[in-house]
Amino acid sequence: MEGIIVVNKPETWTSFDVVAKIRNLSCVKKVGHSGTLDPMATGVLPVFLGRATKSIQYFVEGKKGYLAEMTLGIRTDSLDATGKVMTNDKCPTLRQSSGSVPSGVEEPMSIVANALRKYLGEIEQVPPMYSAVKVGGQRLYKLARKGITVERKPRKVTIHNIRLINFEASEHPKVTLEIMCSKGTYVRQLVSDIGDDLGCGAHLSKLMRTYAHPFHITQAVEMDRIITLAGTGKLHTVIIPVEGVLNGQGAG
């Protein structure tokens, strides 16, 4: 058994959890994935079985797409919903809902949309402390867990598109963003930076990966279905031959 299963990773599962489960279900020794997702994230996780693992290198460089929910006014140490709350501030300029904004005052959605513009194109992004980046031979997240913060060098990433698709007005507004970006982009850091620009901070409260070149969320299979198919001897029906995908790929 070999090929690719495009998994819709469940929330709380690590990418390794998904790989381990599919290895067990398929009885295939060599199983790997491209593009790690944090446990809180859901969405597209390509999993490679058998000889298809040799092709992972051809899939890691492509564009990534996300639906990200940003909660304004609350900062956490991990920059996402799994972390400890560090600051809790109100966003007075964003609390009014569209339609109740006094004449001459910019609407909250417009304020947020305008803040997004500076992040379009190639930008420099400082990796978050809670990340797997190595500094001085040590993983940043291991230092962060000890309460240690170190200087990190910014890295160039590209935001191909960032669009505001929903704004939920409240004391801590929730903003849903649609993002298309390059490999290596930390959405948590992007959200935190946008929150700082808005003057009240923010953290990433939800994340779904909708695209990992060349795979789209519409192709992704739920883990429950994968488990059921494996139990009835039909796991092969959701495995995509790697040759066909490679032959059909365009620029990432």
101-115 residues labelled b (16+ CB within 10 A) or e (exposed) = eeeeeebbbebbeeb
Amino acid at 141: Y
Is the peptide bond preceding residue 214 cis, with omega within 30 degrees of 0?
yes
Compute the Cα dihedral for 86, 92, 97, 98 and give only its sign.
Answer: negative
Which residue is catalytic, options 17, 38, 89, 224? Answer: 38
77 is catalytic: no
| CA–CA gap between residue 185 and residue 40 (Å, rounded) | 17
β-pair partners for 121 = 159
Active site residues: 38
